[in-house]
Structure 1
Amino acid sequence: MLKLKYLFHNHDLAEMILKQWDYDAESLDMFQHYRISSNAVYPFRFQDEVRLLRFAPVDEKDKSNIEAELAFLHELHRHQYGALEAVPAHTGEELVQVHTPWGAYYASVFKRVPGISLARVDLDETIVHGYGQALGELHIVSRQYVPEHTGRWTYAEVLDWMQGVLEQFSDELEALNEVNAVRTMLASWPVTKQNFGLIHYDFELDNIFYDQANHAFYAIDFDDAMVHWYAMDVQQSLDSLQEEIEPEHWERMKQSFMQGYWSVSEETVDMETMFPACRRFANLYGYVRILRSAAQQWAHEPEWMCGLRERLEKALVEKAKLFGQPLS
């Protein structure tokens, strides 16, 4: 999540950055449908094709991570995997650094994928099976993938980043202890080609699009990808799915997802025992990102920011409840 000061809608900034690409000028009214979280994302059209401008301040992102993300998207497309496709700017580059009156930004443009988000689909066993299969196919590509240049950061580097952030807050000793506990637990896990590699990390329902006509799935938002155990992706996906499923149907739907996941692999790995620690990693990572994002405060904040800050404070309290509990 970006720092709160970067969450303001800025039409002029978005238009200034977009000029690095071709676009239909009359489509800029689509900017009103922007969203800002870990990046600012503004929709537009070029030759009647919907595209998405994504940008973030350079001090909020690691350039090598973005380059590694774009490289992995190329690998996915090479394997005919449904995912976002980047569009080169006028310079021929897919990642552009733009200097503006509001500072320097990293920016990319992507073609919109077909279908609609699974978060808006009436889920049944067939779709959930396909959802699991889509994650399994992603991991199959990842197992074969060897980056030519720099790769995405690892879970250990993410933990290092968390520790660095928390050390700036004198009263976050419990969270720092949680970093150490999670680090110790994960360091004890075996690392093999089958169970460890580049994951999406955010393979949740709202980031997977479903094309009903072709029963095809498309993944978006690889911004949080990291090198981790594949169980992390499975756990995050199952937790996202469970939020949308009635309790009496959950075990059946969970089984459908896992059957889909393993249907594309010749061997299975016992992931269930890894899920609790994966949840603790995700909980801690979310806590640290919120803490960093909301650290700065200003007098007379707009109403929407005050409401957001209240929600973030509640989330911090909930996430902190897990700190110090036994890890197994």
Structure 2
Amino acid sequence: MMLLKNMVRGLEQDAPAKQLIQCWDHDADTLKYWRASSNFVYTFEREGQRQFLRFIHAEDNTPENIQAELDFVLYLLDQGYPAAAPVRSIDGNWIETIQSERGPYYGVVFEQASGTYVPMDQMSEAHLESWGRSLASLHQLSEAYRPENTSRGSWTDAIAWIASVLDRYPQETALRQQLGQVTEQLAALPVGSGYTGLIHYDFETDNIFYQEEEGRYCAIDFDDAMVHWFMMDVASAAADLLEQEGANAERSMQLFLDGYRSVKELDERCLRALPVFQRFEDLYRFARLLRSLEGFEELPAPPEWAVRLKHKLLGICHRIRERYSVQAVTLQPVDAGNWLACTHLEVANEQRSLFPVPAVYWLAESAYCGFTPLALYEGEQLAGLTVYAVDPDDGSYWVMAYMIDHKFQGRGLGKAGMVELIRYIRARSGCDKLKLGHRPDNERAARLYAALGFEEISLQHGEVIRELRFLGDSL
């Protein structure tokens, strides 16, 4: 991801694009903006054929990196591998440089990739297997690649770069800890022939185009390529594959892996380390997004689209951060010191139909019916309320109420608090099972309880009843 401030400046009146396109043959008045993310990309026509102008500010890339990318693409093409081919400029150069008042821009042009874009939800079994075969074929060629004058960075360079970004943000302690763990786990994996080489890094659905007659994919966008484990490319594809529903995700992943294995052996040890590679991708993405927002305040009056994009990127960073944040959740009795604060706890507005009873009701019922209310804290902050009880008829334990205040939602406290509640009840009761109920339309609760092992056992009085059975010392 380029610096957002550079994105804003580079799109002003399309000035860099209009200057760079003069370096290549093109049909007049055909230049059009297409997208901007890691690079600026514009489309244009040359003798009626669509081509792509891609450029970047000098703060965001170097000519050496771009040339190394082009050398790899040219090698693949020479070996018969389908990829979008670069186009020389009028002066015979692969890369052209222009000067602007804000510094240099480096531009390249590519032909349009052959083939058809196939969305994930429209992929057949043949598409999925071909995806795996195409990636394995790329990796085979990568193993034999010996660049003469250029080279790309490696995973260790990326680790060092991530660390340099995180060092500018001392508060990111959880991600810094994750980076140390990922570095150690990757360093323990086998390297060399069959394991590592120059990978695409972004061999996902938006960068591949299916060639129907040949039954293979044509690839674009090798600008993120680095020396890494081949499994890293598999992990990137898996991120797309596993977004599907349940069995479909498993089936799609298996077809992809079958296609890969039909061309190249897939090391099982590296395959088992798939979560490690996915964490590397999270960390690398987080660092790139965080870096992209640096200097945004230098813009005197950023356009509204840039402000919206900034908040979107911050949201992605927040979600990644939350995946690795360790929540310090504790349960404390409701007493004279905190009961009043507990009455002020509220769910989000859209949840009121699911939790129509205010917190004060549960405190009153607990006082008169023998229930046990507990206050849920994140650190020293009151974040939620839960109530549990024992059925006098059969001695079974029930979670009667469980809620997280609206100000603390979306931070992983729901799951962390429920895990702590289960441990709390087990430690004090020795019970072998725990029950609870929720409304059928409360999908968020259903997902949470199912993930923790609560099985649906019945439907009573308009509520789904779930039961968690304890095995040994689980939870």
TM exceeding 0.5? yes
1:277 alignment partner AA? V
Alignment of 1:131-280 (within 5 A): 131-243=131-243, 245-265=244-264, 267-270=265-268, 271-280=270-279
Q: Which residue of 2 aligns with 1:17?
A: 20
Q: Which residue of 1 aligns with 2:126?
A: 126
Contact 1:42 1:53 in 2 (8 A): yes
More helix per residue: 1 or 2?
Answer: 1
Contact 1:23 1:47 in 2 (8 A): yes
- Of the two, which has the highest radius of gyration? 2
Contact 1:134 1:217 in 2 (8 A): yes
TM-score between both structures, scaled by the size of structure 1: 0.92
Alignment of 1:262-301 (within 5 A): 262-265=261-264, 267-270=265-268, 271-298=270-297, 300-301=301-302
Runs of 4+ deviating beyond 4 Å: none
2:56 alignment partner AA? A
Contact 2:132 2:259 in 1 (8 A): yes
Residues 190-199 or 91-100, more deviating:
91-100
C-alpha distance in 2, partners of 1:62/1:161? 15
C-alpha distance in 2, partners of 1:93/1:306? 37
C-alpha distance in 2, partners of 1:279/1:307? 27
SS of residue paired to 2:190 = coil
Report the Cα offset of residue 91 of structure 1.
2.4
Report the Cα offset of residue 144 of structure 1.
0.9
C-alpha distance in 1, partners of 2:309/2:87? 33
Report the Cα offset of residue 214 of structure 1.
4.2
Report the Cα offset of residue 274 of structure 1.
1.5
Report the Cα offset of residue 107 of structure 1.
0.9
Q: Which residue of 2 aligns with 1:112?
A: 112
C-alpha distance in 2, partners of 1:7/1:309? 11
Q: 2:29 aligns with which of 26, 30, 39?
A: 26
Contact 2:2 2:37 in 1 (8 A): yes
- CA offset digits 1:124-175 (Å, max 9, x no partner): 1011111111101000100111111221100000111111222222323333
C-alpha distance in 2, partners of 1:63/1:188? 33
Contact 1:23 1:45 in 2 (8 A): yes
Coordinate RMSD, CA, aligned:
1.8
Report the Cα offset of residue 121 of structure 1.
7.0
Where does structure 1 lack aligned partners over 5 or more consecutive residues? none
Contact 1:178 1:324 in 2 (8 A): no
1:256 alignment partner AA? L
Q: Which residue of 1 aligns with 2:352?
A: none
Alignment of 1:44-55 (within 5 A): 44-55=44-55
Where does structure 2 lack aligned partners over 5 or more consecutive residues? 327-475
C-alpha distance in 2, partners of 1:22/1:144? 35
Q: Which residue of 1 aligns with 2:70?
A: 70
Report the Cα offset of residue 294 of structure 1.
1.3
More strand per residue: 1 or 2?
Answer: 2
Instruction: Give the count of matched residue pairs.
Output: 320
C-alpha distance in 2, partners of 1:268/1:221? 24
Q: Cα–Cα, structure 1 residues 321 and 120, in superposed 2: closer, same or farther, change >3 Å?
A: closer
SS of residue paired to 1:97 = strand
- CA offset digits 1:225-266 (Å, max 9, x no partner): 0000000001111211232x332322222111111111112x
C-alpha distance in 2, partners of 1:48/1:64? 32
C-alpha distance in 2, partners of 1:307/1:324? 25
Contact 1:82 1:218 in 2 (8 A): yes
C-alpha distance in 2, partners of 1:20/1:120? 37
Q: Which residue of 2 aligns with 1:103?
A: 103
Percent sequence identity is 34
